[in-house]
Amino acid sequence: MEELCSKLNFEGFIAVEPQEKSGGIAMFWQDAEKVTLLSFSKNHIDILINMGDNKEWRLIGIYGEPSRTQRFKTWELLRNLSRDANLPWCLIGDFNNVTSQDDKRGAAYPNNLIEGFNECLLDVELHDLDIIGHQYTWERGKSTENWIEIQLDRVFVNMQWSMLYQMAKVYNLEGSLLGTKHIIKDQWEEDIHYSVSQKVKKCADSLDIWGREITSCFGKRIKECKIKLNALRQK
pLDDT recorded at residue 175:
44
Q: Is the pLDDT of residue 67 over 80?
A: yes
Residues 126-176 have pLDDT tens digits of 999 888 878 888 888 877 888 888 988 999 999 999 998 888 888 876 544
- Angle value at C-alpha 3, between 63 and 201, nearest 5 degrees: 55
Residues 166-214 have pLDDT tens digits of 888 888 765 444 445 555 555 556 666 677 667 666 666 665 655 555 4
Q: Is the pLDDT of residue 234 over 80?
A: no
In sequence order, what are the residues at sequence separation of 6 or more whose Cβ sits closer than 8 angstroms to the Cβ of residue 186?
206
Beta bridge partners of 44: 41, 62
For residues 133 and 171, the answer to whether their CB atoms sit within 8 Å is yes
pLDDT recorded at residue 156:
96
pLDDT recorded at residue 145:
80
Q: Which residue has the higher pLDDT, 20 or 120?
A: 120
Instruction: List, in order of start, the domains of the chain with CATH numbers.
Output: 2-168 (3.60.10.10), 173-235 (no CATH)
Q: Which residue, among 149, 146, 221, has the nearest Cα to 179 in the 3D structure? A: 221
